Amino acid sequence: MTMDKERKQDIALMRYSAIAPLVTGLKEDYPSLKAFFRDVSAKGVTAPDGTLRHFAPVTIERWYRSYKQGGFETLLPAGRNDAGKPRRLDDALQEQVRYLKNNYPRMSAAAIFCQLKEDGSIRNGEVSQATINRFINQIEFQEKHTACRDMRRYERPHINEVWCGDSSAGPYLRTPDGKKRRVYVIALIDDASRFITGVDVFFHDNFVNLMSVMKSAVAKYGRPKTFNFDNGSSYKISRWSCLPPASVLR
């Protein structure tokens, strides 16, 4: 069954939303295109069904290069001459599966299969869930038997061991007084599960707003053993090996 036109349009719009800051010239605070693609990959893209989807940085880069060469039409999922026949996992699909499994290790083969279908990477009858499952088993087997396993620098095995915090400059918004002000996103993420434990948007990237996010996160999910921040001015006075006294977080 071929993908209907409306569905293709929705997927193309999703892909365009990911690269829109580059297309419209609003890219700011990124030292390189690679940094932009990594950031979009980490933040995720809203899919046609309203869920948040994560794509490999190279996939987002491929969308951008295609758009530059041929415009919006190149973002539409392409039809295939061998439609209806089983499809092997080509390099692009393997890349996407590897990215999802490596960055979201708790994501099942069924969930990965569903995401690939939802974002238009595969269509009905092209690739079976069993094929995806076999490839994931192959990935896990290779990693298990690799002498020099690739370990992420701050990877921890259990939830609430380490929460990493960071902030990101967002767009400018016009306030009721007519002025344009930049907003900042401050977020905390659990290192083991990659679950976002706290996030909020502010007009100032400072310690007071960071504490607001921390208080809310701890109230919902308990406190971690360690917080991990970079050397940003907002975080220098908040480097604790554990949470400060409860009175500070009230």
The pLDDT tens digits of the residues spanning 198-207 come to 999 999 888 8
Per-residue confidence (pLDDT) for residue 229, from 0 to 100: 81
* Whether the predicted model's global pTM rises above the 0.75 cut: no
Per-residue confidence (pLDDT) for residue 232, from 0 to 100: 66
Name residue 208's amino acid: V
Beta bridge partners of 189: 164, 196
Beta bridge partners of 181: 173
**Rg (alpha carbons) of the chain, rounded to whole number:** 21
Q: How far apart are CA 197 and CA 217, in angstroms?
A: 5
Pairing mode, if any, of strands 180-190 and 196-202? antiparallel
Residues with Cβ < 8 Å from 63, sequence gap 6 or more? 15, 16, 18, 19, 75
- Give 147-194 pLDDT, tens digit per residue: 444 444 445 667 888 898 888 888 888 889 988 999 999 999 988 788
The segments of the chain whose pLDDT lies below 50 read: 1-2, 80-86, 147-154, 238-250
Per-residue confidence (pLDDT) for residue 233, from 0 to 100: 63
